[in-house]
Structures are given as C-alpha cells and as structure tokens.
Amino acid sequence: MARLIELLEHGQSPWLDFISRDLLESGGFRDLVEEGIRGATSNPTIFYKAVSSTDAYDQDIRDLLEADPQVSAPTIYDWITIEDVRRAADVLRPVYENSKGDDGYVSLEVSPYLAYDTEDTIEAARHLWTEVDRPNLMIKVPATEAGIPAIEQLIAEGINVNATLLFSVQRYEEVARAYIRGVARQSEPRKVASVASFFVSRVDTKVDALLDEIATPEAQALKAKTAIANAKMAYRRFKAIFHGEDFAPQRRRNARVQRPLWASTGTKNPAYSDVLYVENLIGPETVTTLPMETLDAFLAHGEALPTLEMKLEEAELQLKELARLGIDLDRVTEELEREGVQAFKDSYDQLIELINRKRFEVTRI
C-alpha cells in the first residue's frame, strides 16, 4: 500500500469508489482504510453491483418485510444503503477526526430522479443527512443546472456535499461558485466540507468515438488525451478560484477549499493503461476515486508522480486541436451529463426491480 501513501505525500487523497455489505462485514474495508484509503463513494450503479452479487442483504430485506409486509422497494433501498453508509462512515471516523475533517467521508447520492428538481433534491438531501446522522457523510448532488442552487443551499445549511456528474470546466466553475456562496452564508464555515466530482474516462470514451469517425492521423493522435486535458483545465480553474480573490474572504474565515475529485477513473478502453486516469492526475488538494479493479492495478504497477500540473500547455493545444477538427467539447459534455443522469436512473430502476425479486425469494411467497 506504499503507493497510497505516496499519493498522500503529493497532496492527493485516495477514496474507494465502492461500498458493499460483504466488504464491510469481512473487514476488508477496514483493512483498506488502515492501509491508506481515506474515503468512499457510492452511487446507484455501485449499490446495484453490491446487492446483485451477494445474498448479504437478504436478511435485512427479510427483517423489513416481517416488520411491514407492505414495505416498498424504494424504502428497502433507502434502508440498506443508509445502513451501509453508516457502517462505512464509522470505519472512516478516525480518519475524519485525525484529519480534522479534511478526509474520512462517505458519499450517498440523492435519487437520480431528482436531478432536475432543486427543491426536492434539497429535501431528499436533508432526509439522508438526518437519517445517516454521521458528520463524515457527504450527500451527492448531481451538478445539473437545477443542482447548482441545491448545492449552495445545502452548504449554507452545513450539509457536506459531493457535487457529482461534472464533465465541463464551465459547470465545474458554477459548482465552485455555488460552494463559495453557500460557505459565505454559513456561520461556521469550517464545519462544512465539499468535493467537486469531475468525471474523466467517460469523456475519452465519447470523444475517441468521434475521433475514430474522422480517422485522420491528427485525429488518432488525440485519442486518450481529451479527458486528462479537460481535467487539467478544471484544476487550473480550481487554483485560480480558491487561491485567488474570489475565495479570499472565506479563507480568512477558515473555510475549506472545495477539492476537485477525479471520478470515473477506471479505464474503459482495454487498449489504454489501466491506471491512465490515476497516474496523470496526481496533485495537491485533490481526491482520486478508485474502483476496486483500478485500485488493485495501481497498487500492482502504478507510479505516483506529481503529474497534474505537468504539460499544461500541451493540454491546451490538444483541446484547441480537438476544436479545429470540428469536435465541440461543450456539446459532448452536455450529452455526458444527460447520459450520466440516465445511467444512474437505469441502475436505480434495476436495483428496485432486483429488490422486488428478492422480496419474494427471501419470504418464499
């Protein structure tokens, strides 16, 4: 696990992009935390994988049905996800306390069906915050246009927020400024924390397909480059905003910066390095989230070097060349945001369907 320590030495916190009852009950999650994992994230896709791959949740479902045979599948979903997040938060509590609230967080997402509804997102986040009842919880809020005011309001109320499904630098900046506005309304700004989850590999998946359609040598040379370049431009905006005059008044109030979090770091294209999106985005005041497979790969053969601010001019030129070839990155990221929301809706629906099947299996009805 020395490589995780090396990430920390470069100012980056490694978080596990996975939670499951098996991992929690086996002690595997505790082992990872002791070896350097500093947080955890979840989403409907992660919980679907967790519930579909094990019978570890069957007893909980059986107990809920015995207490109330009419209990709905969404209520069961809420209960089992809240329980997993509570357990993970408790394991991470020493990290949270030892880091004075900089790390040790677990993220739990509001329903993806609320992604375009500001007020219902706020209410759902308040509900989850109250039910989990752990100071090291982060509520994941999709950073859609409707999510921006929700992020501001929740931060103002002292609720930790993981602003998720960020693909564009423009949307990243909107989230950063929403955080600053929320912190400015918070009487004790040090008590609230936030990250901005900027998605990586999905950008290359979509852009590389467009480059393949162009099929020129210039286009092929840009494959596997856009996502990293895009993230580096977001990090440059992070530094300008949070280390400039925009955040200076809140810094004087001892507010925390809203760290960029690199999400979707698992490599989708098997032709690329399985640690491509980890190795190339290492830098201070950031978080990298690691799916289990990516964590294993990084521990096996990854390199921890301070790469995030290397080759910035090259990254700029790559994005300019992309535009010259006729690929509109703004349009791509807008599509990715919509597709990301839909993907989480699909996973949520699959999980609800799975729970409905399990309710009959565990009760033999």
> Could you say which of 49, 140, 232, 358 is catalytic?
140
Q: Tens of pLDDT along 15-64?
A: 999 999 999 999 999 999 999 999 999 998 999 899 988 889 999 999 99
pLDDT of residue 269: 94
Q: Which two tokens stand for residue 210?
A: 């467009």
pLDDT of residue 53: 87
CA distances, 332 to each of 213, 262, 293, 314 (Å): 15, 18, 27, 21
Q: Tell whether the model's pLDDT for residue 364 goes beyond 70.
A: no
Spatial separation of the C-alpha atoms in residues 76 and 65, rounded to whole Å: 9
Average pLDDT of the residues in 261-281: 97
345 is catalytic: no
Q: Which two tokens stand for residue 177?
A: 């400024």
Q: Tell whether the model's pLDDT for residue 10 goes beyond 70.
A: yes
Single-letter residue type at 335: E
Q: Tens of pLDDT along 70-103?
A: 999 999 999 999 999 999 999 999 999 999 999 9
pTM of this structure? 0.96
Q: Which two tokens stand for residue 216?
A: 């020129």
Q: Tell whether the model's pLDDT for residue 362 goes beyond 80.
A: no
Q: Tell whether the model's pLDDT for residue 141 goes beyond 90.
A: yes
Least confident of 169-183, 301-315, 344-358: 344-358
Give the containing element (helix H, strand E) for 290: strand 286-290
* Cα 170 off chain centre by: 18
DSSP letter for 141, please: E
pLDDT of residue 1: 65
Q: Tens of pLDDT along 203-262?
A: 999 999 999 999 999 999 999 999 999 999 999 999 999 999 999 999 999 999 999 999
* Nearest-5° Cα angle at 225, 219 to 229: 125
8 Å CB contact between 78 and 71: no
Q: Tell whether the model's pLDDT for residue 348 goes beyond 80.
A: yes
Domains and CATH numbers, the chain: 2-363 (3.20.20.70)
pLDDT of residue 113: 96
Give the containing element (helix H, strand E) for 162: strand 161-166
Average pLDDT of the residues in 278-288: 98
